[in-house]
Amino acid sequence: MSEANHQNVQRFSHPGRGRDRARPVPKGRQVDPRAKVEIETLLGDRPRRRDLLIEHLHLIQDTYGQISAAHLAALADEMRLAFAEVFETATFYAHFDVVREGEADIPRLTVRVCDSITCAMFGSEKLLETLQTELTGEVRVVRAPCVGLCDQAPAVEVGHNFLHRADVAAVKAAVEAGDTHAHIPAYTDYEAYRAQGGYATLERVRSGELTVEAVLDLLDDGGLRGLGGAGFPTGRKWRSVRGEPGPRLMAVNGDEGEPGTFKDQLYLNTDPHRFLEGMLIGAHVVEAADIYIYLRDEYPIAREILTREIARLPEGGPRIHLRRGAGAYICGEESSLIESLEGKRGLPRHKPPFPFQVGLFDRPTLINNVETLFWVRDLIERGAAWWKSHGRNGRVGLRSYSVSGRVKEPGVKLAPAGLTIQELIDEYCGGMAEGHAFAAYLPGGASGGILPAAMNDIPLDFGTLEKYGCFIGSAAIVVLSDRDDVRGAALNLMRFFEDESCGQCTPCRSGTQKARILMEQPVWDTGLLAELSQCMRDASICGLGQAASNPLTSVITYFPDLFPEPRPIAAE
């Protein structure tokens, strides 16, 4: 052994040697004693499980109006997690305001101005600029993605108070009055729902009077499909989960973040027990002892209503866990939702395995959308023939169309599946808004593409729009007029997808950014954009990246007048 190596061995093998230049404090991030006491007090006797990390972050955010580095370190210590795990989760979600060391505190009041497509059509960009200039002091004004009030555009959230068709005066008045809390509307509560025959069907299922197989047959015969966007047959999904070895779980996707969509919010805010009964029937069928409801953070009214009404349910059923999203559109994708329920960043998983095989906490998991479960009771009580009696143009069932944009009467329209956009506008929306001529429409929200008014005879349903490069999705219909900029609408949507990309895969992370840059140019390089779109569709991990270019490609395809042929370069 060389003398140098011998000295090194001596240095690290004898406790008193080589330590005169040691760090004055132990390695690693130190926990501030005051922050530690604050976090211990805030959590109280709540469990310190990893899956509750996001819930605990919400507690800090709600209490202090921000999340400091000291509180993050204390929370990590309290939950026996690495600081990096807590930090990466907190900074992933838009509704957690993480203040790094040395940064100034965030104002206590946040005003969020929705800038998604319908609100942008009604002037939200100008509203945002004005509010940022005129609201000063302890107020922060920021842009926000869709808050589910597209039929009331432009929408502004002052704290947790949502202003409909907002203007500068209304926002200032709410701020000055301190009107920052959600206003709970009248709704059908537990007693009223029971008085209307509610939960009788659940009791028949639980008693065995109505067998599990009979329920599944009704779902199959009626043709109920997933109404969150994918349209997968509900009965088949329930059978698939039931066929997996237990224990099994159930998760409800209430992360309705697709711009233009607000149907789930309406049902949760008005008739929550119809949804809860369908949910409990589903849990009984797949024998799930625990149900996790994942509700987007932009729906505080629905969260308050569900908190009240779940507490009023009789004991003896599955354990219901109401979990709160934190501002991440990607968590509407089922595997991202699972990751978030487990207290992690909402990064999509590779498939297979699928969630019905390996889902929440690695158990077989039934995942359904809110509206899908909302119709279960009616379908069972009224029968498959009732459901199939609705529909047009060869389609079956009912659809809750979220309609916004340039129509006289926007809102959720319960209408036959398969009706056309022209029928929807004329029969259910009172026609076009005064002074506006029908020019284009989004048949399926932000990712469903954009079609011209000339294509107004396509049935709006699953399987009818795909050959045109579009899809119905969650049935979010945005109507554009001759006064709207179709290219601008597509750019608005691409900016949304760029902001909401989780960043996990390069085709989506970089593709949405590069597409947005190209679309901001006065003249679009349509060939390059088409090539980029194909790459995103082929190589992205999940549906966000795969469908983000649908509005772009449909505009290039169906609005050729917007893209004049490039002039040839003159010969020298």
pLDDT per residue as tens digits for the range 503-536: 999 999 999 999 999 999 999 999 999 999 999 9
Question: At 136, is the pLDDT very low, low, confident or very high (cuts 50, 70, 90)?
Answer: confident
Residue type, 173: A
Mean confidence (pLDDT) of the chain: 93
Question: For residues 308, 311, 317 and 321, what is the CA-based torsion angle, rounded to 10 degrees?
Answer: 70
pLDDT at 7 over 80: no
Mean pLDDT score, 256-264: 95
33-99 against 190-380: fold identical? no
Give buried/exposed letters for 317-355 (b at 16+ CB in 10 A, else e).
ebebbbbbbbbbbbbbbbbbbbbbbbbbbbbbbeeeeeb
Helix (H) or strand (E) segment spanning residue 11: helix 3-13
Confidence of residue 24 (pLDDT cuts 50, 70, 90): low
pLDDT over 90 at 571, yes or no: no
Strands (E), 208-332: 248-254, 288-295, 319-324
As separate numbers, helices (DSSP H) first and strands (DSSP E) second, the chain gives 25, 15
Mean of pLDDT values over 120-138: 95
Share of the chain above pLDDT 90, in %: 91
Residue 405: which H helix or E strand, with range? Answer: strand 398-405
Whole-number Å distance between alpha carbons of 558 and 452: 7
Find out if CATH 1.20.1440.230 is the number for domain 487-562.
Answer: yes
For residue 30, the model assigns a pLDDT of 86
Return d(Cα 193, Cα 14) in angstroms, integer.
75
Write down the pLDDT at residue 237.
97
Q: What is the pLDDT of residue 27?
A: 55
Per-residue pLDDT reduced to its tens digit, 176-192: 999 999 999 999 999 99
pLDDT (mean) for 148-159? 97
Q: Per-residue pLDDT averaged across 330-349, rounded?
A: 97
CATH architecture of 190-380: 3-Layer(aba) Sandwich (3.40)
Q: Which residues, 6 or more positions from 371, have their beta carbon under 8 angstroms from its beta carbon?
A: 227, 228, 263, 264, 267, 400
For residues 390 and 417, is the Cβ–Cβ distance under 8 A?
yes
Which residue do the tokens 């597409």 mark?
Answer: 515
In the CATH hierarchy, which fold is given to the domain comprising 33-99?
Arc Repressor Mutant, subunit A (1.10.10)
pLDDT > 60? residue 371: yes
Q: Are 114 and 125 in contact (CB under 8 A)?
A: no
- pLDDT at res. 230: 86
Query: 404 and 153 in contact (C-beta within 8 Å)?
Result: yes
In this prediction, residues 74-96 reach a mean pLDDT of 97
Contact 442, 475 (CB under 8 A): no
Cα–chain center distance at 205: 31
Kindly give the pairing relationship between strand 411-416 and strand 288-295. unpaired
Pick the CATH number of 398-484 from 3.40.350.10, 3.10.20.600, 3.40.50.720, 3.30.70.890: 3.10.20.600
Q: Are 322 and 310 in contact (CB under 8 A)?
A: yes
> Residues 224, 417: contact at Cβ < 8 Å?
no
Q: Is the pLDDT of residue 426 over 70?
A: yes
* E strand or H helix at 110: strand 109-114
The whole-number pLDDT of residue 17 equals 39
- Please tell me the predicted confidence (pLDDT) of residue 101: 86
Residue 418 has pLDDT above 90, yes or no: yes
Residue with tokens 């002039």: 567
How far apart (Å, rounded) are the C-alpha atoms in residues 397 and 461?
10
111-177, what's its fold?
Glutaredoxin (3.40.30)
pLDDT band at 474 (very low <50, low <70, confident <90, very high): very high
Q: Which residues contact 132 (CB under 8 A, 6 or more apart)?
A: 141
* Residue in the structure block whose two tokens are 């005064």: 434
Distances (CA, A) of 42 to 36, 106, 367, 395, 463: 10, 20, 32, 53, 50
Strands 398-405 and 365-369: unpaired
In the chain, domain spans: 33-99, 111-177, 190-380, 398-484, 487-562
572 has pLDDT over 70:
no
13 has a pLDDT exceeding 80:
no
